[in-house]
Structure formats: C-alpha cells, structure tokens
Structure 1
Amino acid sequence: MATLAPASEAEPSDPGIGPGHGHPGGSRMPEEHEKAIFHHLLIYCAGQAYRCRRRRAMEIPLVLRFEEIDAGMLPLVGGKAANLGVLAAAGFPVPPGVCLTTEAYRRVTERSGSLEAALDALEVTSPTDTRALAELAGTARAAVLSAPVPEEVADAVRRSAHGPVAVRSSATAEDLPDASFAGQQDTFLNVVGPEAVLEAVRHCWASLWTDRAVAYRAANGVAHRSVRLAVVIQEMVQAEVAGVMFTADPVTGRRRQAVIDAAPGLGEAVVSGAVNPDRFTVDVATGRITDRRAGDKRLAVRSRAGGGVEHVETPAAGTADERAAAGTAGRRTADGTAGGTNGTATGAAGPAAETPDGAEGAFCLTDGQVRALAELGDRVEEHYGAPQDIEWAVDSDGALRLTQSRPITTLHPIPRHAGPDVAADASGDLDDGLRIHVCLSLAQGLHQPITPMGMAAFRLMSSAALGLLGHPVADPRAGAPRFAEAGGRLFLDVTGIMRSRVGQAILPRVLDVMEARSAVVLRALAADPRFGVTRRSVRPALRRALRVGGRYRVLPRALRALLRPESAHRHARATESALRAHLASPPDATALQRLDRAELILSRWTFRLVPEVAPGPLAGFAMFGLAVRLLGGRARPGEFPTVLRGLPRNVTTEMDLALWHLAARIRRDAPAAALLLGTPAAELAARFHAGALPAVVEEGLREFLREYGVRAVAEIDLGVPRWSEDPAHVIGVLANYLRLDDPALAPDVQFARGAAEAEAVVEGLAARAGGLRGRVVRFALGRARALCGLREFPKFLLVTSLAAARAELAAVGAELAGRGLLASPDDVFFLTLREARTALTGSDAPARPGATAGAGAPEGSGPSAGTRAPGGSGPSAGPGALRALVAGRREEAARERRRRHVPRVLLSDGTEPEAVAGAAVAADGALTGTPASAGSVTGLARVVLDPVGAHLEPGEILVCPSTDPGWTPLFLTAGGLVMEMGGANSHGAVVAREYGIPAVVGVARATGRVVTGQEITVDGTSGTVAVSAPSAAS
C-alpha cells in the first residue's frame, strides 16, 4: 500500500497540485497539508497580482499631450480632454496643452478611507434626498483635498506648468453623447506658476464632488464610484472676444442654425451668465445672419497680471434708444425689422440681417467673424456627426481658437422613416423637403419610450391598418411609409395631409379632442407658406371615405346603433368573446410557431375587428355634434362636458369601479386591509402568484385580472408587462383606495352623481331649445350618452390582442434564454420581430407563407432599435453579440426614460414649432390649457411621472405628462387633474368627467412648472391653472 511522504519532504516551490502528484496511486493529502499548500499558493498569487498592478500602474501614463489622445481614451483622460485630442488631431485650432490622466486621481484617492465611506453611503442614497447628497458630497471633497499627493504626481504637474495656463476638469462622465454634465466640475483660468497649477489641480479633483456634480450624476443614473477625473492643463488664450456657439438652436431644436453668444474678454463671462452678450443666429447652409441682438456687455472677465482673472466694468454699448437709432436696437430679425419674431411658427429664414452702416460698433464681432465662426462650427459638427456646444475665443491676433466642444444632449432626435422615403409621395413636391411629424405616442398618452419589439409591432400593425384602407404595404414589417420614430417614440408624417385642403380642415379638429395643443401648432403651421396647399379638391378624399365606409358597412352599423343602442353593446361584447377565442394559443406550439402566431395576431387581428365596433361610438359623437350645432349659443359654460359625465358601458370606467368595489370588500376584512396597507406592493404581488394572500384579496384579484389582466400602464407597448404578469400596480391602487374614507368621495357615488347631473343638463338644454328642436336635442344627447361610452372599446380590443402577442413572444424569449442567447426571457422585447426570427432560425423569412411578407428595409433601422444589430437586419451569430445588443438598447431606453420633454410636433429639420411659439400663459400669469372637466378646485399638487407605485393622498391634484387607462385608477382619489398632453376627449379628460374632478389638459410643460406640495387652483371650465409660490415642504 502506498505511503504518504512527510510534510517536511515536500518542495515549497512546488505545491504539488493535482491527483497523485508526488503520491503514488493518487492518494489524498492530509487536510492540514492541503491548507498549508493553499496558504503558500495564496501568498504567491497575491504577490504576483500586486506586482502586476504595480507594473500596469507604471505603464499607465500620468500625462498625455493632446496629440497623443484619441476618442478611445475616455476612461483615461475624461470627456473634455478626449474631445480636445480629437479636435487637435483633426487640425482644428485648439490651443496646445496636456492632460493629467485619471491615473493621477487614482493614486491620490486610492487609500482614502473617508472617501470610500462617502461612496458607500452615496450608493444607497435616494437621488431626491438633496440634503443627504450635499452632506456626503462635502465629505468626499474634504477627503480629496486632504489626501497627500504622491511625489511623482506632483512632479508631473509641475513639469506641465509652462506660462499662464487654464486648468480644467475632465471627468469620465462629462461631454458624452447622451449627457454633457456641463459646468459640473471646476475650471481655473490664467494660472501662473507650478505651485499654483498644482493647487488648481487639487481643487479640480475635489470638484468631482461638488453638490451640483453629485446631484447631476444621481439624477442621470451615473454610479459615483465609476467616475474618475482627469485634468486639462492648456495654454491660456488671452481673448479679445469669446463666447459660446451652438451648431443647432438649443431652444427650437432647428438643425443647421448656429446660435452664437459673444462678449469682450474671456468666455467665462458668457458661460457663467454674468453678462448679457451679443447674440447672432446664422443659417449655416447659406451663411446668412438671420437674427442679431446686441447685449449691454457691461462686464468683461480679463486676465490679471501675475495670475488669476478680474471682472472689469465696461461702458455700455449705448442705451437701448441709442442702439435703436444705430439701426440694430437690441435685436434685428431675418427680414430686417427690429423686435419680435418673423411671425411664422417655424422661424423660417428670410433675407440676411446684415449690420447697417455705422451700427457694427454696437457688436463685439464683425459679420465676417460671425460667418467664420458658423463655418468652423459646421465643420466641427460634421466631424462628430452631431450638433455641438462649442466654447471659442478670438485672440489678440484675430485668430479663432476652440477651447472646448461637447454634444448638445438636450435636442430630441429627428424622426426617421422605417419604410421607403416619403419625400416623393402623393403629397406633392416640397420647397425644401421639410416634413411635419406629429407624436403619436403623446396622442395615446404614452410619454415613456417604446421597446424595440413594441415599435416593431406598431410597424406591422400600421401596415395592417393601411391594408384595411385598401393601401397594401410592400414590406409590412418595415411599416407604413408615413410611420416614423425618434427617441423610442412614434411619429406620424402628416405633411401630405396638411398640404391638402381637406386635411387642413379635418386633422386639427380631430386633434382638438385628442391632443389640443398639437392642433394649435398645426393651425399655425398651416399659415406657413412652406406648407401651402397643393391639393384643393375634396373629391379624392370623399371617394376614399365612401369606398372604405362601404367596404366595412360603417353607415348601416352606425344607423343600427342609433336605432338600438343595446344591440351595439351586445355586439361589442360578442366581438370581444370571438376575439379571445381566436387568440387562444395551442399549448404544445414550438417557439417558431409562437413567433409566427405573434406576427399573425399583429398583422391580422389587432385592427380587423375595430370596424365591427367603431361605428357605435362614431354615431354617438355625431349625435353630440348635431346637438351642439342645434343649440348654438343656448348652452352655458361647462354644460356640454357635463353631458358626457357618468357614461354607461365605458370599459375603462367599469374597470376602475370594479377595482373600487374590490377595495370595498377588502375593507370589510380588517386583517386583509391591514396587510395591504402595511406591506410593499411588490411583495404582495409575489404572494399573489404563490397563492398566499387572504382569500378575499386572492379571489377578488383573480376575478379582476381575468377581465382586465391584459391591461397595463403604457399598454400600447407590448414590451410592457401586463397586470396579469405583475399586479403590483393594481395592488398599490387598492391600498390607495383603502385610505379613502369619506363616503361622499366614493367613486361609485361620484359616478352616479355625475350621471344624474348629466341627465338633468340634457333635460334643461332640451327645454331651452323648445319645440321640435328641443325634441331632436333630447334624442341626440340621449343617443350620445348611450353610445359615446363605447369609444374606449376598440382600444380595449387592441390591447387584448397585444397581450396575446406578448404571451407568444414571451415563450420565444424563454426559448432564446434557454439556449443562452439572451440573459433573460424579457430581453426578447429589446429585439425586433426580424431579429427574434433570425436568432431562432438563422433566417428572417417567415416559416409559414402568408404570416408576413417581404424583406425590405431593415427593421432595426429606426432609432427605437437603438444599438444596431451587427450585420444590419438581424443579430450576428453567438450569444455575446445578441446580449450586447440588448444591453445597449436597455441603456438607451433608460436614458430616454429620463427625458422630461417630448415634442408634440417636430419638423424634419429638428425645429419644434411649439418652442418657437412659446407656452401659453394667461394675462394673470396662470398656466393655460384645454378645459376638460368643469369645476374648480384648490389643493396641493402631486407631480407624478410614473404611476407605478405612486401614492396620491385623497384630494391632491394630480399633475402628470399624459395618461392612458393604466393611470386612471389614480383619478379616484384625486381632487383634480392637470395634464401636459391631451384634448377634451383624451382618456384622462373622459375619466375626469366621469368622476366629476376638475381637469385641464394640454398644459405645456406643467410637470416642470409645478412642484409637488405647491398649492394650485385648477379651473376646468376656463382651462387655467393658477400656481402659488412653492410651499416650504416642497
């Protein structure tokens, strides 16, 4: 039998790893021997790792010249230095300099225990807890300032200090394509001497932890521990004139329009806002100066002898009257007139606004310098491929110098068409190819970005809708030609519609009830000569309407609904039952069959049944319009909206009331109610799926979800989980209802009261009209009340279909995750239909003829796809590429979710017409919008951007971007409603009327102009929102 060698005979340099090594027969060592060997091995590995780290540290440079820097060095040099290196390498006039790399910052801070403690605390601090963030930022700054600077770092800084220099922070999360972080860290100008430069560098390092930088990173979801700081040490430009240039208008969004701010001295005066600068607007394509404003320029920042800067008061460039006498005044516009805009909603360029003779002295730049700056900015934008925010200076020799360039991150992407180019369609030739895009996402109450799979579904559905109208699309998966997308939002190209006489008359009226502010913008655009009518005849539109109406028997169905409203309701429910039967999926289907079935549902069933039920509500609204016309001026303010309160058979209202009745049942079970009020909704959702909730909750919730589980917040995006999958939001709403203890505010009581008031108003209006007119008004308004509630039903059918398609795609995701191609099944919703098929089969062709057709434009070509799949139309082979594709798109979606403002209407040159026109404000300073639900209420505002998990105290006024049916359960406890989007018949407006809460919709930027805790007064009759000063609590 083999014997074990004594421990003393083992070679210390040879641990003897492996079965039988040094041991005949492979016998196992005693445990204490293995521990000793493992200990030696651990020490050896740790030593090797330390030597490797030291070797790498010695190889990482502390200082790099601009010429040595490229865009791939961002983690080493930060955003500002990376951009300066790119510009210098491209030959742009960048003052010479060096970058002290992030390696220097690492060596200074790596042993700071207090900084580590602050970072640990920051990781668990809420972005909204500004006081805690500020305290931790102060701790971090103090830690950096007190940390000793290694001698090799100090020597590197001193060797870089030649002559007067500018010392600028360059963070690794700065000047990035999606977040500029502008002004978050410090800059020191005209620093003279090695020790002064070293001190400035130390304060730059500390400025990574200013209160504003910490808050900005927290708000933008950037991990504090991931950020490092490099420092730019750059030759100081002793500027005669300096300032900032945007290569696209940052307010209106218009591309190829440079906006230049300039003032004498260093650019710091302009950047910090310490001076009113001269402003120039230049049409980059033509070089025309289309607008100019002379600032007073009363302050200049100049270098001081011996180092530092000073603020110098300068004589004003004349009074306003003197500047006006010189011919320029404070402003000169493109058409040569002083003051105001050129009168169009889009800011169209007119003749060049050249400086009149004798007036150029009022400005700090000549026309030639302005044009040279605009041309230089255009070249920088072309180099980067994106609009830029540029800091520049004119030195004492008159030479232009670029001191910084960063992307403009606030611009909304320009909509791109997924299908064929529409510029040459039947809408007629355009003067300059300019297109008008209306945001369909906002019109549907959806503010957040749509997932790539959700966007792919909309492309397929838009093609199906056009097919129903008799216009088949060559490539259904590419979408309808006028379908466009940007930033994960849906847009519709309405240029052709707005260039026809019928379209200009009808489209704004349709939007009046869906998204009223968009209608205002479109009416302003109709007056723009660039969108003049090219199709005046109404006959083609009339022929199309008659053809489609005849094909789907719209008129006979509408007449039948008018004669027998109950038959319309029965038909709607029968249609729903038939749809659910068609949507049932075979349990043994393969993943590929499920994908085929998802495409079949989207292409055939989502819109197929809409013509079955739409004629009913159309007839109802036609009757409402007839009554309005017959009554003329006899109705009092607020009476017509009251007629539409308490409408029967509204599926969204029925859903909300069903949830309220469930809450009432739970309230009678004290332990169950206490559980809902005291347990997080997510935990309760998990218990529900496990069958571990009290019976009254478990059974009631299952019953509710059987009928309404297909719904969700943002439900038109099939990438969003349905309530049947995640009922946390529903459970949270139930808990909110349990807090409502005033019987008079009970939603069923409010609904019944609204219905009674509506019937009383109908009788009053009929009596006021009198005679035969009165009888017709009574009939028309009665039918309107009987049928208008069905307006929500077509969308309910659509959402039901989307939920079925989502279930099929979830099974596809599970298959792909099981193969290791995706990290989780839900990742399938960050692919497109074409990419999912390619991942399953290696081909994007449908497995069954007729499921979909064509293989034209790549489905991932739109911005919603985010990161493009390698190879164009589908993902490349291998799980790594597909996972990376999904990760990139998830990051892009997260960035877009943080976007607070989405334009209602956007032109193809980037112009946001509403921004040109400005937000509507009443004479007394109140915000204005569209009256949506009559009445007035004063209360505390609650600004809610996402309803999931939102808590609304009874009586608080809900202020939100937009709503869809997933939001409406919150209305039951709200005292009033203010929405940025919507019209008098949008979802939010309808439900607000149902519950009798005053509402104003279409209030531009309401969520940014009102803060939680402010007292506001909502007047739903006049359409105004009066805002008080912020409360101390806010």
Structure 2
Amino acid sequence: MKKYIIELNDNRACELSISGGKGANLAKLHHIPGIPVPDGFVVSAQAYKELILSEPEIGKLLSRLEEITAEETKTISQLSKHIREEIIKLSFPVGFIEIIGEVLAKHGDSLPYAVRSSATAEDLPGASFAGQQDTFLNVIGVKNICKAIVRCWASLFNERAVAYRIKNGFTHSKVAIAVVVQKMVVPEVSGVMFTADPMTSDRFTTVIEAVRGLGDDLVSGRKNPFEWKLREGRLMKTREGEGEMPLEEEQLWELAGIGKKIERDFGCEQDIEWCYNKDGFFIVQARPITTLYPLPPSPDGYKHCAISVGHLQMMTDTILPLGLSMLKKSRFYSFYELGGRMYTDITHDLRTLRGRRVFLSEARIKDPLLHNALQEITRRKEYVRKIPKGPSSAISLEGRAAIIWRAISAYFRPDEAEIDAYVQRQKFAIKAAQRKLEALSGVEALQFILDDQKNMRITICDPAGAGTVLTAMLTATLIDRTIEKITGEKAISNRLAKSVKHNVSSEMGLKLSEVSDVARKYPEIVSYLEQVGEDLSLEELRKVAGGQEVADKLEGFLAKYGMRCPGEIDITRDRFRERPGLLCASLLNNIKNLPAGHAAASFEQGKQEVEQLIKELVAKVETAYGKGEARKLKRQIEIYRKFVGIREYPKYFWMSYYDVYKQAIMREVNKLVETGVLKDPRDAYYLSIEELIEVVRSGYANQDLIEERKSAYRSYAALKPPRIIFSDGEVPLVSYSAHIPSGALAGLGVSTGIVEGRARVVKKFEDAHIEKGDILVTTFTDPSWTPIFVSITGLVTEAGGMMSHGAVVAREYGLPAVVGVVNATRLIKDGQRIRVNGTEGYVEILE
C-alpha cells in the first residue's frame, strides 16, 4: 500500500500518470527554487485504478457511460449518480488507512489539510477541467481525510465532470484520479493570477484577483474580488472589490514576478492560485491557461502583426476546414487559418504608406476599434521602420478602374434600368453554374466548383453593382458634410437610408413578416410552430389545418432567401433551405410582437418619414445657401436613396453561388456516406475542398485526421478571437476615445436614437425568442439575422462598423444601434434593462 502514497517533493510525483494534473504541477512547483508551496503528499492514480476500477459493478456502469452523448443529460445525471454511490460505499483496506496515518503523523496529524482531486485529464495545456472535481478544506484526522479521498474519487463522476469529458472527447475509463493532501495555509488574502490576460489573450499582461480570507470565497462568487492588470511597468486597478485593499502595489509586483518565474519554468502561460499571510506568498495550484488564442507565425523571426478578417466581415465564429478552403479559393480575402478563423498578416503592409492606407481605410468603415488599434501601431516608428520587405496581403478589387468609372457615370446619369440589368446578369450566371453542375458528378463536379471561383468573383464584382455602391458612399459623404455644417448633426445619411429600394436584406425581414401574417390566421399553425421549434418540417406543416397555405408562402420565401443562414460565408453552415426550422423563432416573434400587415405599413411609414425629412433638409439648405444648393442636395439624396440598398446585393449573389455549390458538394458527400467511405455527411466539413476531391477520387478518407480536426475545433470554438495579435503574444489595447457617462459601455453609434428596454442576449440566431420592446444583444449579425430586426427595438453587437450589416439594416428599420461594444454579451446580462444611445454611441445598464 505504501506505493500509493508519494510525497510532493518526490520526483515521481511530477508524473501525470501518477499524480494527475494538479498533483504533478504542484510537485513541479516544489522543485522550482524560491517558489513557496505548502507540503503534502499524493494518493496516486494507481490507488484509484486498483481499488475502484477493479470493481465489476463500476466497470459495467462505465461501459454504459461510454455510449452516452452530451445531449442525453437525464441519462448522464442518473448514471453518474449511480457510479458515485457505488464508489462511496466501498471500504478502504486496513493497510491503506494505516499508511495514511503514518504519513499524516510525519506532517502533523492534528493540522488541517486541503484534500484535492487531481485527475489525469486535468490542468492540461489543451483542457483545464477547472472546477470539475471536488476539493475539501480544513480536513483534520485520518478518518476524515480517508473519507475526503473517497469523495474526491467519486467526484470524478460529477455531472459537470462527465459532461466536460464527453464534450472534450475523453474516454471515462481511461481517465484516472489521484488525490492531493496538502497542509492548509491560513490566509489573510487569497486569489488567482493569470500570467497572460485570459480575456484578451495578451501575453504581456498579468491579471491578479484578490479577496481577504479563503480563495474559495472568490472561486464560488461569495465575494467580489479586487482586480489589477500589470503590463510593462504599469499597474491598473480594473475592479474595486469588497472591503479594504488586500495588497499593496509592492506586493502585487512581487506576486507578478513569482508568476512569471513559474511561467518560465513550465514553458507556458499559467493560471495560478495563491494565498498570503504573515509568512509571505504561497502557491497552491498552477495550470496552463487553456483559453489563450494561438499566436500567428513569424517565418522570418520578426514581430508579425495579424488582424482578424472575421471582425471585418462580421463572422467571428469558427469556420470549418471546407469553408476556409472555399474562402481561400474565392480570393475575396488574403488570409491563413488561426484558431479556426481567418487572419491576415499585415506586417509588410504596415511598412508602406499604401499598405497602411488600405487597411486603415477598411477598418475605419468596418470596425473602428480595429482602426484605432491600427493607428496606434502605425505610430510605432521604430517597429515600422525595421519591418523587412515582403509581399502585401491587400487584395485588389477585380475591375477597379471600371468600378470607379461606373461610380462617376452613375452620379451624373443615375439610370435605374442598369441596376435591373445587373441583377439579371447575376441570376443568369448563377443559373448557368447550376445547370453545369447538374450535368456533372464525382471529381468533375468538385473540380468545376474550384475552377469556377474566379468566374464567380468577377461576376459578383460587376461594375454596375460595385460602382453604384461606391456612388452611394461618396454621395453620402457629400450630403453629410453639407448638413453637418448647417445643423451640427453628423451622418444624416443614416436617417435617409430608411425604406429604400433594392435592399435585399431588409426586404427579407419584411417578407418573412408576410409569412407570419398568413400563419397567424391559423391557431393550429401557431401551436405547431411553438411545439416543433427548430425541427420544423414543411412536409409535416402541410398536414396541419391551414398548413398548405403557410407552407406554400414559406416555400416562396425560401426560393428567394433559402441560401442564407447565420455565419453564411462558411459554406458548411446549414442554410434556411436545409433547415427551415431556423426561422421558427422569428416567425413566432413576428406573430407575438407585430400587428398584421406590419411589413407594408412599416415600409410606407419609413418612406413618409424620410420624405418629410428631405423637405426639411432641403428647406434648411435653401435658407442657408440658396435654391441652387438646395436643388443640388435634393438630387444627391435621390441618387443616394436610389443606390444605397445595392450594397447588399454582392453578398446575396455570393451566397446564391454558395448554395448551388453546396448542393453539388453534398450530392457527392452523400454518395461517400452510402458507400461507407465517410461515417457522416458532416465529416466532409473537416476536409478542405482539395482533400475532398482526393477522397472522391481514391475512395479513402482518413478518419483519424477528421476526428483530430473535430477535437481541435471543439477547443477553437471556446476561444475569443482578438482583433489584432502579434507573433510575440502582444494584443494591443482596443478602446474608444469618446467621452461617455460613467459606467456606460462604449461603442460606435451607427443608427441614431435612444431606446430603453429589456436586453435579450442571444448567441445563436435560432435562440432569438424576442418579446415586445426587447433590445437584441449579440456578438455579430449578418444578413440572415434580418428577420429578427423586425421584432426588436434596438441593437447592440460586439463587432461591427458604420457599413456592417447590422448597422445598415438598423438604419433601414429606424432602430437605435451601437456596435463594437467589447464583451457586450458578457457584461450585459439577459433580462437586464438597458438604454441604447445610438446617437452618441454607448449603452447604459439600468438595473
């Protein structure tokens, strides 16, 4: 039995398989000179294996548990409870209890101890398992410590621990658990320290949280901690805690130094638990921070700068390998994959004036926070001067000269017939690609998709579309300058963008509202929608009273907008056409919150409001500058309103192409599943388009590679992508310079007005169950979110700029909106009452 007990200062205790993650890390800390760690010992994982896993009944239960999926929460609860009960009722061998007694006598058997779980799949670089198993504090005496050890073993099967292992792909029977028994330190102050900022991924920042008394009060949330951030010689208090200040500045820097020493020895950034009393600081736990964003590469050893394409394109979610490979082939962006998302290395562009202008200009329009950070970087003269020569990451627009010429000609000869011709050309090209793919199969079909990317790009960048969008943007600038001089109001063009023609995204929301109007006539349909939710089926819908009419109306909607979906630039995402149930919540929102006929009435009301606004503006300009300038303004507004909606067309047609491509891809993928080459159609999403072609050609798929990528993407999904990240780990601070009320959350006002209401914090489009008066708070929106905009009264997003989708549609619908609010979905709680100031650009939490 003695082999089961190993002192923390014994080299053997550093082995993960013996001591588990927590125990191994504590043993390693013991061996770092100058790092104070309380003494103790480990009950090895071998003890758990021999005393627990050898029990036949527990073995049977574990076999059943291996078959359970994360969705089977009730079964997880029942099975895990049964396993815990089986473990707790087991008796310790007498010899084991005697050995525990001998070791305790050596350390002090009357002293209080902390008895802590230490699983072999815990505190690892890829998965922390933080808080998944139990810890017991102030345990005194052999009998109580033995009980606590058994309870630690049982805690390996807490519901949260079981669910976490399933989610992260760990086999239950292969995960063992050791137990750390460590002398308690009676602390005056306790806390946690991160040697890199876990929220921003900045490796240059140390974050320290502290409370008076036990650290359990901090972890459990019973006390609000003080928080400081230490960066390059600067100390910032970022949160005021309860009571007196627990640590002085000198102590904070001392603690930060201990943290960096541990980081150097462990070779990666650390999440550290510590405590402090009259004898100084003690380290009671250290584990890798598992939520840091991966670093961009530096092929030449210089400090490279990467920016998030996702923030510029309103898509900060992960994009699966098939989606990324399609985006690479489309060449709308130059990027590489980092953390399952798109990043562009702009290092060499920062070196040149042209390169800086390209990316600053795009960021200014699409993400002001990114723009502000880029401006700060360009002021680092020494860094910029030393950047080595290299290729630019900027992509030139197809037919740039033709687009500029079209923009100029559209201003002087604004012919709406050319827009109609442009739309018809797009539809014809998409239909031609569809007919071609219907005649092809196998490798030929997939190869056609690859070869067609250039044609798609040229078609979408048709000067008739892109040029008139540029006309609208330039005209908006002229209008805004004129009106600001007279009234002081900035960006009046935002208010002039309501109820315009050709805005295919805004039209989508109104068209779905018309579907809701048909559905609301039939109580049975409303009841059916409430019951089925995301499982909505058109076939089943037709069987309900009134279902034929509603299904026909919905099919008409899907014929025009079925290619759209949340995160639509990732071709692997389910389209509305594939999963009409994604629209169920929006249909019900409309029925509950909007009157019948809202779509037409809303559009007409917006049109009348703008017409009145135009009259007022023209009159003011005439008073200030005369009739000639008034006529000029009126003409500019007419041009602007004629063309501003067209900006939504290019992406609409891009997604129409993607829908055609995806149908062809899935035809081939389903064949692979039928022949057993792939286990599941979605497995194809974890292959690039080139790899998928090779699978079709060879009839062989590397399932191990697919599973490996699935595991990687599970971890990527939990990461928060920074707007900018350097290859050395620096993440520049992003902030607004605007003056706002104390306690308010800063952002960019993109649609004027002020509104108060209940915050509805939504992470997924299909979960947007909106009540009347709700304000939508989310990470980002793309055109597929438009149906929700019909039912809300305001918008707050974490990403976005003046020309992002959410901003454009919010202006169209007259919704006050603030975008680019950092951590909005974390700082604003669902159900809180908030005030959105879309004019000044901030959000206030009222309760």
Answer yes or no: is 1:103 the counterpart of 2:49.
yes
Answer yes or no: is 1:624 the counterpart of 2:510.
no
Whole-Å Cα distance in 2 between the matches of residues 815 and 974 of structure 1? 43
Deviation at 1:561, TM superposition (A): 6.3
Are the structure 2 counterparts of residues 251 and 396 from structure 1 closer, same or farther at C-alpha, using a change threshold of 3 Å? same
Match of 2:305?
436
Deviation at 1:689, TM superposition (A): 10
Kindly report which structure 2 residues correspond to 1:999-1014, keeping only aligned pairs within 5 A, or say none: 999-1014=817-832
Cα-to-partner distance string for 1:397-440 (whole Å, 9 max, x where unaligned): 99x997643110221222358xxx4x6xxxxxxxx833333222
Answer yes or no: is 1:379 the counterpart of 2:265.
yes
Whole-Å Cα distance in 2 between the matches of residues 364 and 1001 of structure 1? 35
Whole-Å Cα distance in 2 between the matches of residues 721 and 749 of structure 1? 32
Task: Answer yes or no: is the 8 Å Cα contact 1:123–1:224 preserved in 2.
Answer: no
Task: Answer yes or no: is the 8 Å Cα contact 1:141–1:210 preserved in 2.
Answer: no
Match of 2:712?
892
Answer yes or no: is 1:408 the counterpart of 2:289.
yes
SS class of match (1:490) = strand
Q: 1:814 aligns with which of 657, 670, 676?
A: 670
Q: Which has the higher helix share?
A: 2
Q: Which moved more, 1:683-692 or 1:159-168?
A: 683-692
Answer yes or no: is 1:952 the counterpart of 2:802.
no
Cα-to-partner distance string for 1:437-477 (whole Å, 9 max, x where unaligned): 32221322223211111111122222xx58xxxxxxxxxxx
Answer yes or no: is 1:1025 the counterpart of 2:843.
yes
Kindly report which structure 2 residues correspond to 1:431-470, keeping only aligned pairs within 5 A, or say none: 433-462=302-331, 465=332
Match of 1:597?
448
Q: 1:720 aligns with which of 540, 562, 573?
A: 573
Deviation at 1:527, TM superposition (A): 3.3
Whole-Å Cα distance in 2 between the matches of residues 666 and 616 of structure 1? 38
Whole-Å Cα distance in 2 between the matches of residues 828 and 723 of structure 1? 20
Are the structure 2 counterparts of residues 401 and 968 from structure 1 closer, same or farther at C-alpha, using a change threshold of 3 Å? same
SS class of match (2:452) = helix
Whole-Å Cα distance in 1 between the matches of residues 237 and 396 of structure 2? 55
Whole-Å Cα distance in 1 between the matches of residues 53 and 737 of structure 2? 51
Answer yes or no: is 1:902 the counterpart of 2:784.
no
Letter in 2 for 1:712: C
Letter in 1 for 2:691: E
Q: 1:489 aligns with which of 331, 335, 341?
A: 341
Whole-Å Cα distance in 2 between the matches of residues 588 and 691 of structure 1? 37
Letter in 1 for 2:422: A
Deviation at 1:673, TM superposition (A): 4.4
Whole-Å Cα distance in 1 between the matches of residues 807 and 166 of structure 2? 31
Task: Answer yes or no: is the 8 Å Cα contact 2:562–2:576 preserved in 1.
Answer: yes
Task: Answer yes or no: is the 8 Å Cα contact 2:202–2:732 preserved in 1.
Answer: no
Match of 1:823?
679
Deviation at 1:137, TM superposition (A): 13
Letter in 1 for 2:733: E
Cα-to-partner distance string for 1:280-336 (whole Å, 9 max, x where unaligned): 9687xxxxxx457999xx99xxxxxxxxxxxxx99999xxxxxxxxxxxx65xxxxx
SS class of match (1:913) = coil
Task: Answer yes or no: is the 8 Å Cα contact 2:88–2:150 preserved in 1.
Answer: no
Whole-Å Cα distance in 2 between the matches of residues 655 and 262 of structure 1? 50
Q: 2:118 aligns with which of 164, 170, 174?
A: 170
Q: 1:977 aligns with which of 795, 798, 805?
A: 795
Are the structure 2 counterparts of residues 984 and 553 from structure 1 closer, same or farther at C-alpha, using a change threshold of 3 Å? closer
Match of 2:658?
802
Are the structure 2 counterparts of residues 787 and 180 from structure 1 closer, same or farther at C-alpha, using a change threshold of 3 Å? same
Letter in 1 for 2:425: T
Whole-Å Cα distance in 2 between the matches of residues 958 and 233 of structure 1? 48
Answer yes or no: is 1:733 the counterpart of 2:675.
no
Match of 2:647?
791
Task: Answer yes or no: is the 8 Å Cα contact 1:108–1:150 preserved in 2.
Answer: no
Are the structure 2 counterparts of residues 267 and 984 from structure 1 closer, same or farther at C-alpha, using a change threshold of 3 Å? closer
Task: Answer yes or no: is the 8 Å Cα contact 1:561–1:567 preserved in 2.
Answer: no
Answer yes or no: is 1:942 the counterpart of 2:760.
yes
Task: Answer yes or no: is the 8 Å Cα contact 1:751–1:996 preserved in 2.
Answer: no
Letter in 1 for 2:725: L
Task: Answer yes or no: is the 8 Å Cα contact 1:682–1:728 preserved in 2.
Answer: yes
Are the structure 2 counterparts of residues 270 and 558 from structure 1 closer, same or farther at C-alpha, using a change threshold of 3 Å? same
Letter in 2 for 1:1000: V
Letter in 2 for 1:103: K
Are the structure 2 counterparts of residues 86 and 576 from structure 1 closer, same or farther at C-alpha, using a change threshold of 3 Å? farther
Match of 1:286?
none
Deviation at 1:979, TM superposition (A): 1.2
Deviation at 1:967, TM superposition (A): 1.0
Q: 1:841 aligns with which of 690, 697, 703?
A: 697
Q: 2:747 aligns with which of 916, 924, 929?
A: 929
Q: 2:365 aligns with which of 489, 513, 529?
A: 513
Kindly report which structure 2 residues correspond to 1:1-12, keeping only aligned pairs within 5 A, or say none: none
Task: Answer yes or no: is the 8 Å Cα contact 1:294–1:363 preserved in 2.
Answer: no
Are the structure 2 counterparts of residues 626 and 263 from structure 1 closer, same or farther at C-alpha, using a change threshold of 3 Å? closer
Cα-to-partner distance string for 1:175-214 (whole Å, 9 max, x where unaligned): 1334424355454678775335324424544666889x67
Q: Which moved more, 1:270-279 or 1:190-199?
A: 270-279
Cα-to-partner distance string for 1:753-782 (whole Å, 9 max, x where unaligned): 122222222232222122222221111111
Query: TM-score normalised to the size of structure 1?
Result: 0.68
Q: Which moved more, 1:264-273 or 1:512-521?
A: 264-273
Match of 2:812?
994
Deviation at 1:530, TM superposition (A): 4.7
Q: Which moved more, 1:202-211 or 1:933-942?
A: 202-211
Deviation at 1:793, TM superposition (A): 0.8
SS class of match (2:760) = strand
Kindly report which structure 2 residues correspond to 1:684-703, keeping only aligned pairs within 5 A, or say none: 684-685=537-538, 687=540, 694-703=547-556
Task: Answer yes or no: is the 8 Å Cα contact 1:687–1:693 preserved in 2.
Answer: no
Letter in 1 for 2:638: G
Match of 2:424?
574
Are the structure 2 counterparts of residues 665 and 263 from structure 1 closer, same or farther at C-alpha, using a change threshold of 3 Å? closer
Match of 1:29?
none
Deviation at 1:929, TM superposition (A): 1.4
Unaligned runs of at least 5 residues, structure 2 = none
Kindly report which structure 2 residues correspond to 1:173-212, keeping only aligned pairs within 5 A, or say none: 174-183=122-131, 185-187=133-135, 194-205=142-153
Answer yes or no: is 1:80 the counterpart of 2:22.
yes
Match of 2:271?
389
Deviation at 1:545, TM superposition (A): 8.2
Q: 1:633 aligns with which of 480, 485, 488?
A: 485
Aligned CA RMSD, in angstroms, stands at 5.1
Whose radius of gyration is greater, 1 or 2?
A: 1
Whole-Å Cα distance in 1 between the matches of residues 328 and 297 of structure 2? 13
SS class of match (2:750) = strand
Cα-to-partner distance string for 1:134-164 (whole Å, 9 max, x where unaligned): x999989995896353326545644654424
Are the structure 2 counterparts of residues 885 and 205 from structure 1 closer, same or farther at C-alpha, using a change threshold of 3 Å? same
SS class of match (1:167) = strand
What is the aligned length?
816
Task: Answer yes or no: is the 8 Å Cα contact 2:504–2:648 preserved in 1.
Answer: yes
Task: Answer yes or no: is the 8 Å Cα contact 2:372–2:736 preserved in 1.
Answer: no
Task: Answer yes or no: is the 8 Å Cα contact 1:254–1:909 preserved in 2.
Answer: no
Deviation at 1:987, TM superposition (A): 0.5
Query: TM-score normalised to the size of structure 2?
Result: 0.81
Whole-Å Cα distance in 2 between the matches of residues 315 and 1017 of structure 1? 33
Answer yes or no: is 1:748 the counterpart of 2:600.
yes
SS class of match (2:486) = coil
Answer yes or no: is 1:151 the counterpart of 2:79.
no
